[in-house]
A and B are shown apart, each in its own frame.
Chain A
Amino acid sequence: MYAQMIKSEATQDDPEKLAAFQARIDAGEKIEPKDWMPEGYRKTLIRQIGQHAHSEIVGQLPEGNWITRAPTLERKAILLAKVQDEAGHGLYLYCAAETLGVSRDEITEMLLDGRMKYSSIFNYPTLNWADIGAVGWLVDGAAIMNQVPLQRTSFGPYSRAMIRICKEESFHQRQGYDAIRKMAEGTPEQKKMAQDALNRLWYPSLMMFGPSDKDSVHSAQSMAWKIKMNTNDELRQKFVDQTVPQAEYLGLTVPDPDLKWNEERGHYDYTDPDWSEFFDVIKGNGPCNVDRLAARNKAWDDGKWVRDGLLAHARKKAARKHAAE
């Protein structure tokens, strides 16, 4: 998902405190920043919320890439609003992470020097306008699958950030589906572009949910703590079941020859993505890893004089006011 392969940190706390903490979570209580919490819970959450925040921020790059080249002024305004929302999502999540005792600069620097990750999906390029439609439809669609249950996560600030985010996500997915629908219903050439976008983005979208459950070793503790609400395969299946009819409506073909409805299971059978590609992208070898990190580093470095200047101005103003009192 936006947070993939989050390893639960081991916890070495007083067993009695741990049991009381687990009882609170089992009773559906929210854990708030000043409450006692296991060190492992705190660290795992910083990593998970941080990775989620980084994904929102880095996720602006593939879409921002098309703002100036949107086909109409209306599409441009819509895409601009969508990308602005993603900046907001990043900010809500950074603030939630900060309540756990990590500073904004620290967490930003961990992204910039590669100590923290963002979702593998944003290491794929957006080659043409059809990709922008496909990203809203598929990538935001996949994100929603994971974010809706996370509204009930045990950590209060994370849950509240998720509630705000979910309110805005449906616009993202719908504008994407609307954009790709225009192309699927357009000229044969446009329809071909829509199909091509689906072909390229289908498996990377399935990868967003993380490795298959049988290879996903870190889930149990996170699920007990209610910071992971469903298994990777559960969410992936749900996404496939929801998306296939949407593709059919568009007259597009999901690029999986073995995809078929399984009457007995009540789900689609589908082909897993190529996991070696996924691990390779995670390691830094996707088509855009280098570009994405370079763009974030450049933005951070180029913005330094603005951050410093505004702070210096604020301090000077405060000192002047203080002197006048």
Chain B
Amino acid sequence: MKNEWPLWEIFIRGQHGMSHRHVGSLHAPDAEMAIKNARDVYTRRNEGVSIWVVEANHIAASSPSDKGPLYEPSESKVYRHPTFFDIPDEVGAM
């Protein structure tokens, strides 16, 4: 439908200094109204102190079929995790 309001993705930062997190989406005619609507739809119970809105068609996303090539290479690199290394107990916390 050509007169349908565009879809916006909504990101909200909570009270405790965490990053903005995707909470959902909504329709609005423009960014200003998207923020106003996001306040009503997604922060009715103090869920946030900051709102980002991004028009959904401006988001580029990886595709599910790339799952293998994108994420498998990191599976074999266990040495990237601290638990890979044995540190003697005598050394203390590290």
User: Which residues of A are in contact with B by a Cβ distance under 8 Å?
Assistant: 32, 34-36, 81, 84-85, 88, 91-92, 95, 98, 103-106, 160-161, 164, 168, 307-308, 310-311, 313-314, 317-318
Contact = CB atoms under 8 A, between A and B. Distances in A.
A106 B29 contact: no
A36 B3 CA distance: 30
B26 interface: yes
Contacts of A91: 26, 41
Interface of B: 1, 3-5, 7, 23-27, 29-30, 33, 40-41, 44-45, 61, 63-64
A98 B30 contact: no
Contacts, number: 53
A98 B5 CA distance: 13
B58 to A, nearest CB: 13
A105 B61 contact: no
A160 B10 CA distance: 14
A308 B44 contact: no
25 contacts: A34-B61, A34-B63, A34-B64, A36-B64, A88-B44, A91-B26, A92-B41, A95-B7, A98-B25, A103-B4, A104-B4, A104-B27, A105-B1, A160-B24, A164-B24, A307-B3, A310-B29, A310-B30, A310-B33, A311-B3, A313-B30, A314-B29, A314-B30, A314-B33, A317-B30
A307 B79 CA distance: 56
A117 B83 CA distance: 54
B26 A95 contact: yes
The 4 A-B pairs with the shortest beta carbon distances in the complex, nearest first, are: A314-B30, A314-B29, A310-B29, A105-B1
A129 B64 CA distance: 51
Given A34-B63, A85-B44, A105-B1, A98 B7 contact: yes
Given A91-B26, A95-B26, A310-B29, A35 B64 contact: yes
Contacts of A36: 64
A182 B27 CA distance: 40
A230 to B, nearest CB: 26
A313 B41 contact: no
Contacts of B26: 91, 95
A95 B64 contact: no
Given A34-B63, A88-B40, 5 more contacts: A84-B40, A84-B44, A92-B24, A95-B24, A310-B30
Contact of B5 (A35, A81, A88, A307): A307
Nearest to A85: B44
A80 to B, nearest CB: 11
Contacts of A313: 29-30
Nearest to B30: A314
A311 B64 contact: no
Nearest to A309: B29
B29 A311 contact: yes
B61 A106 contact: no
Nearest to B37: A91
Nearest to A304: B3
A88 B5 CA distance: 17
Contacts of A314: 29-30, 33
Contacts of A88: 40-41, 44
A252 to B, nearest CB: 31
Contacts of B24: 92, 95, 160-161, 164
